[in-house]
Structure 1
């Protein structure tokens, strides 16, 4: 697994996420371990490295 650090878009806490090292774009929702709100994760992996990572509020949630 690849590890990436990011900021929660709700509470601004620094979080760490494990990303599957398989080549391609991965999209999924995780809950912030501090404020418990859903975060939409989109990570792109190429050659075993994270080349793009986006964390934003999950659709339909505030």
Structure 2
């Protein structure tokens, strides 16, 4: 990386920290969050979909269509 790009990256990081009130770069780390979605197969029509609810039927079958 050329020196100019490195200086711009550091300046951007410092500006970002200043705007968000962070004092150290450790606050910029990405936190991995596990998803609450799970695969469900509809008991009526057989399609597979992802949901975070505790259900056995898809949205269409729940509405009666």
Structures share fold, TM-score greater than 0.5 = no
Q: Which structure shows the higher helix fraction?
A: 2
Q: Which category of TM-score, normalised to the shorter sequence, fits these structures?
A: 0.3 to 0.5
Relative to the length of structure 1, the TM-score reads 0.33
Greater Rg, structure 1 or structure 2? 2
Relative to the length of structure 2, the TM-score reads 0.32
